[in-house]
Structure 1
Amino acid sequence: MRSVGKRIIGTIPVLIGVVLLIFIMLRIIPGSPAAMLLGEHVDQATIDRLTEAMGLNEPLPNQFFKYIIDALHGDLGISYKYDRPVTEMILEAFPYTVVLALMAAVFAWVLGLLTGIAAAVRQNSLVDRLFMGVSLMGVSMPIFMTSLLLQYLLAFKVKVFPLTLDGSFLSMILPAIALGWNSAGSVARMTRSSLLEVMQADYIDTARAKGLANGAVILGHALKNSMLPVITMMALQFSSMLSGAVITESIFAIPGIGRLATSAIQNRDMPVLQGTVLFTTVLVIAGNLAADLLYSVMDPRIRKEA
């Protein structure tokens, strides 16, 4: 518990640094949010009044510390575009992102583990080359290309799935595959390499010398010890799916955190953009912490060192 507390405390400077960075970047961009909201042909006096009402005329240090204090109380500001609390908007969008990330993670992990194990068992065979070639394609293809290709083939041509989100479970399958395809390739390659490395250990030879079948040796001895780096990768992947589904949500019209962030960028809605960045940063940090904890649970040596 002490090591967990140290890790949580260590994340505080990271959060403050991320907020400070996005805070500065949004305010050095040319142009005024008030002017963008009011549109063209508005006199400067009106722009100045709105700027003062939004609190953007105060010194930057005052704005920053006020934002930090409000964020600690769960207040991420009011959207410039929609005049709604940012926290409320994020909480409305988050369930869509969670469902998408969960479906993508299940697809990626099941496909990645099965193909990685099969490739390791059939090392240097046609199956191994085929699976690793497909996994390399998955790792190499950008998410936007995978998304558009799936839309064209399975939604536009074959018409098996809806083109965009329509509220049904079926309409979430294509986005989940698109988001999880890259992760599936990474899991497959990591599983294969880790399993092959473990299978060279002396205790594997001892198990085989006792007369155990190859399947029993792999499932009972090699697989458990080879899963340590894979589980760490899977935990990090899930947090990145939660925070990085921007492209997938935009292409498939899913009203999640990613689409909320892109809309905030287009509208220069600084409170919404700051809130989504802070929220996704917390998710990534939580994913890293979960990966560390899972690793220590799976490997007692890590607990002793901690």
Structure 2
Amino acid sequence: MIENIRSKHFLFVGNRLEVLQAMLEHTLNLTICIQAKSYAAQILQQTLSPPYKTCYYEFSNKKELLSLIESIQFDILVSNGCPYILPISQLAKPHHTFVNCHPSLLPNLKGKNPINGAILYKQPSGATCHIMTDEIDSGAVISQVPVYNDFNTPLSLLYQMCFLAEKEAFLLALKRDFKPLNALHIDSKPNIAYYTRQDDDLSLNFSTQSTQEIINNVKAFAKPNQMTHLAHNPSLHFIEAMLIKNDFLESTFQQAAINDVVLHYDNHILCKRKEGFLQLTGGGGYERF
């Protein structure tokens, strides 16, 4: 059965490389639609082998993508990192299968930024391959792969772990002929149904947020193209936060008020908090505050 499914015509749509690499290795007929100017597009322009260059397309907006999908003959569309919601009920023909590889353990953390949400809300991470419907990340589950993250896993590493898990989830789905699971074990813990990053999530406020909330937010967006910033000074961005408890600092800055920034050094600031001192480390574009 696996050879039969491998011989079907696949269409990849998205902007990530790991699942696409699995499709290049394990499918026989493949057309590629990549988001223009993405990292994946830059890599494929340099490395894609000649046989695939004749069935390689780039799209810059949703209209272009929908036009490509409607013009291409395929049996199975695989979405991975597609930036647009596809109108499946309008696109689907009787012989079509639409599947998506999503970097969370659905139904937990649907939406655009599930990896950030996993750190922000201390949720388990992984990847899911599921049937696509008109609703966001809501179709029947075909396969899931957990990555067993903990709160100490850095964001950049968790991204890579989840993308590798997406590749594994796709391969498991391929072996299953993309047939949904009959039942899916759902953890009894409360889950976060959706997470899409909001501007307020990147803003740090010493007066209204607890120290742990600040640390959580910094960890959840600790990538150069994301990063939190001070609410009153958006030009200062942070990539690391840690609480320091030290008797010498307590003695030296005993006259300082809670939430005062007591030191600027290298690319760090030190803020006095009730629990100790919060060190925030800047990231990108400057060496000193």
**TM-score by shorter chain over 0.5:** no
The structure whose residues are more often helix, as a share, is 1
Could you state the TM-score of these two structures normalised by the residue count of structure 2? 0.27
The structure whose residues are more often strand, as a share, is 2
Could you state the TM-score of these two structures normalised by the residue count of structure 1? 0.26
Answer 1 or 2: higher relative contact order, Cα 8 Å, separation at least 6. Answer: 1
